[in-house]
Amino acid sequence: MRGQTPGPGTLLSNIVLSQVEEHAAFGGVVPEIAARAHVEALDTIVEHAIAEAKVNPEELDAVAATAGPGLIGGVMVGLTTAKALALAWNKPFVAVNHLEAHALTARLTHGAAFPYLLLLISGGHCQLLAVQGAGRFELYGTTIDDAVGEAFDKVAKLLGLPYPGGPNLERLAREGDPKRFALPRPMVGRGDADFSFSGLKTAIRQVVRSPGFIPEQRADLAAAFQAAVIASLTDRAAVAMRRFREATPGSTTRRLIIAGGVAANASIRAALDALAAREGFETVFPPPALCTDNAAMVAWAGLERAASGVFDPLSFSPKPRWPLAARTAQVLESSP
């Protein structure tokens, strides 16, 4: 990664090792397999990345790696390798919060100026945040149970779709009628900007297990699930937009950045675009390849930290849990 804040940055190399095949047989991510795959692949990936970027390690300003949150095995392997490289190359080290990397991707791709509103929708996270600067976040809302991508994956499994569930479910939903099944609209109408998806998953399970359900109805159920998710996401995002608008009274251009793997969903994108247009926000969708987990976004977050002179000691420990921001006290009253 090469660049300067606020971006955009220049991608020199961005190698992503997909472990989809290793995990597919188990219908989800298996922590031990993930950690072992990291160990086996990382040295070669670093070598290839350096070669592809055509940089000499001496030219680097810093080495950055994810230090959490996430499955601890994989995080430890990456973090330890990065620390070893920083030591060997005698470069400063930056420990990156994986969520912060997602949060700052819109600067890497679009040079988005602070502040902006971020909707982070991935397999592990579902949050609305005001991003004021690197390391400066205000949490507007988060999920009280499952993340939205997790809900997609679990519902896909209930429908008998192969892993990874999200994209397969989206494909199936395209052939279905969303009105055939009436599903709950989780959290809609609430004054906070929180999310909840486990009730929706339970509702789907009940439908699938009901005596009259036939496999031909799977597409309709997938479409109904996606419609319910969209209703919930847009309602929650609308609450956050109002709050962000109040927090930025003088601003002429307000942006909603949508990041995380679920942002690849075309129907969700279209619904958020329409909502943003109504609410006077511009949407920014970093391209899917940079929205799903990748090395470039971690490098960019490291660059932002390094630019403000923030480095970390080599003793920095991996953090399985590492929230970006604590919840603030403010909760808006429900609109009438």
Does residue number 127 form part of the binding site for Zn ion (CB under 5 A)? no
Contact residue for Zn ion among 138, 146, 170, 293 (CB under 5 A): 293
Q: Scan for tokens 């987990």, then name that residue.
A: 293
Q: How far is the CB of 149 from ligand KG4 (least distance, A)?
A: 3
**Could you give the angle at the alpha carbon of 19 between the alpha carbons of 64 and 261, nearest 5°?**
70
Task: Count the helix, strand and coil residues of the chain and give each as a percent rounded to the nearest 5.
Answer: 50, 15, 40
C-alpha torsion 105→255→169→100, nearest 10: 30
Q: Residue 294 touches which of Zn ion, ligand KG4, none (CB < 5 to 8 A by kind)?
A: none
Q: How far is the CB of 260 from Zn ion (least distance, A)?
A: 6
For Zn ion, give the closer residue by CB, 103 or 284. 103
Residues near ligand KG4 (CB under 6 A) are 122-124, 149-150, 152-153, 164-167, 170, 260-262, 264-265, 292-293
For ligand KG4, give the closer residue by CB, 150 or 312. 150
Distance CA 124, CA 75 (A): 15
For ligand KG4, give the closer residue by CB, 166 or 186. 166
Residue 1 is given by DSSP the state -
CB-CB contact of 92 with 303 (8 Å): no
Residue 145 is given by DSSP the state S
Q: Is the dihedral of CA 224, 122, 283, 188 positive or negative?
A: positive
Does residue number 97 form part of the binding site for Zn ion (CB under 5 A)? no
CB-CB contact of 307 with 5 (8 Å): yes
For ligand KG4, give the closer residue by CB, 86 or 119. 119
Q: Residue 141 touches which of ligand KG4, Zn ion, none (CB < 5 to 8 A by kind)?
A: none
Q: How far is the CB of 149 from Zn ion (least distance, A)?
A: 9
Q: How far is the CB of 74 from ligand KG4 (least distance, A)?
A: 12
Q: How far is the CB of 182 from Zn ion (least distance, A)?
A: 32
Residues that bind Zn ion (CB under 5 A): 122, 293
